[in-house]
Amino acid sequence: MGGIRIDRIKLVTELKKHNMTQKKLAELSGTSRVTINYVCSGKSCTGEVGQKIAEALGVDVTEIIED
């Protein structure tokens, strides 16, 4: 999987649904807070990181990537 861009609004919505902070998401996904912060600010990430974030949120990666 190449670089993907996670939709910031979808990501923030999922974080709120799960009452989860960026720090907690970083812990659960096994990524750094800096990476989560980049993704939340609209920067692209690897498919692997996107998958880890999706799994930590309990959603399919297709539900949080930009259309």
pLDDT for 2 beyond 70: no
pLDDT per residue over 45-62, tens digit each? Answer: 999 999 999 999 999 999
Q: Which domain holds residue 8?
A: 3-63
DSSP letter at 59 equals: S
pLDDT of residue 12: 94
pLDDT for 1 beyond 90: no
Split into its structural domains, the chain has a count of 1
Distance CA 59, CA 27 (A): 17
* pTM recorded for the entire structure: 0.91
pLDDT per residue over 10-59, tens digit each? Answer: 999 999 999 999 999 999 999 999 999 999 999 999 999 999 999 999 99
Q: What is the CATH number of the domain that holds 56?
A: 1.10.260.40
